Amino acid sequence: MAQLWGGRFTGSINELAWNFNASISFDKRFLEQDVRGSKAHATMLAKQNIISEEEKKLITEGLDSILEDVKSGKLEITSKYEDIHSFLEANLIDRVGDAGKKVHTGRSRNDQVALDMRLYARGEVEHMADLLNNMLETLLDIMKANTETYMPGFTHLQKAQPVTLAHHVGAYFEMFKRDLLRMKDIRERMNYCPLGAGALAGTTYPLDRDYTAQLLDFYGPTLNSMDSVSDRDYLIEFLAALSTVMMHLSRFSEEIIIWNSNEYRFVDIDDAYSTGSSIMPQKKNPDIAELVRGKTGRVYGDLMSLLTTMKGIPLAYNKDMQEDKEAAFDAIDTASNCLTLFTDMLRTLKFNKENMEKSAMMGFTNATDAADYLVVKGMPFRDAHSVIGRLVLYCIDKKCAIDDLKIDELKSFSELFDEDIYDAISLETCVNKRLTVGAPSPVVMKKVIDANEAFLKEFKL
């Protein structure tokens, strides 16, 4: 058993306790971060004359060779090591001798793992931002192509008013745009280096923490050594943001599932993102959308697990905090896979525009516009609302739309109706005359599309 402690102990640890305590099975994904952090630490130690330049060279070359051998398969990370840190240091000592024993000078596993997790999370935040950017570009392409694709807008899952597909998809653009901006905020707050904080109280060695932070592309060092080793706020923020991403994906998945149903037939999902039934040959199921919807709860659970782990921990580091890794890894992997697959599915989705338009023409989505027509003619809105309500009841009884009624029938409800009512409540007019900022008319949507395009072009993490 390879470990970084033991001098104070006379007996050996129970095997079950060793396995329970070890983290090598999951923190091995920190190998590259641990190598990078160790090289930066050694470079700083040499700059401060704590180790020699020759020792620094041996350490950095040894670390690079270990990383290369693991990647090529020559060296295996096994369970005989307690964690990735003991694996790396033990193999370094085997390769470079006493110089390897100096790499941990002025450093603790506490600030070492804090650094590894921060480096890893920072990279994943950047990766998530790339995935969100891809999603936004896909949504924008759909918006550009569908400013005049009419469909019903819903409230309470009931047809409400006509909109366009560009407008509907634009709502999701706003959601994922906020998700992207959250990644930027998280990166800003997390981008400070904990290395050099030691176990909790710094060190007596003359470390240059600013230099270490610079080598690792941080804005600077963290300013309290106790907080440095016990802070997981940035990870909680990240998982909370991922939970929001998943909530947005789940809402969109629910709509795709509904739109894909026989009753709606708004979309056709590509075969690459569907499966069939083992017994019903006619079935084509939206399994990817359903799984994304289902996996949302999994990411929520990871967030709650981390929050629960952290809520009772006194300063500074405690072993409970080892539990942050598996929850974080699972949430990151799950959200990344869901976002990638959903974006690919969306990119290949076929929209049945004719069905969407037919659906928008049914369900009295133009009732509000009919009421507005009477208001323009001089009737108070509340009275107009009542007239159109009675008119809708009449149409339901006749099993027809408002547009299907003859002018004499309309006039029986109000003499204010005239031949121009048919144009006023047409699908095109209902959408096109909505010209306020954020409304669905093609004129407004084109301005929004231009603004969204500029945002994506100018955005930097």
Instruction: State the catalytic residue, choosing from 52, 277, 359, 414.
Output: 277
Residue 159: CB atoms within 10 A of its CB come to 19
Give CA–CA dist 232/117, Å, rounded: 9
Q: Tell me, yes or no, if 277 is annotated catalytic.
A: yes
Instruction: State the catalytic residue, choosing from 65, 156, 168, 253.
Output: 156
End-to-end C-alpha distance for the chain, whole angstroms: 42
| Residue 236: both structure tokens together | 């909680």
Give CA–CA dist 8/10, Å, rounded: 7
What does residue 164 show for φ and ψ, rounded to 5 degrees? Answer: -120, 160
Residue 105: CB atoms within 10 A of its CB come to 15
Contact 80, 58 (CB under 8 A): no
> Which residues are part of the catalytic machinery?
156, 277
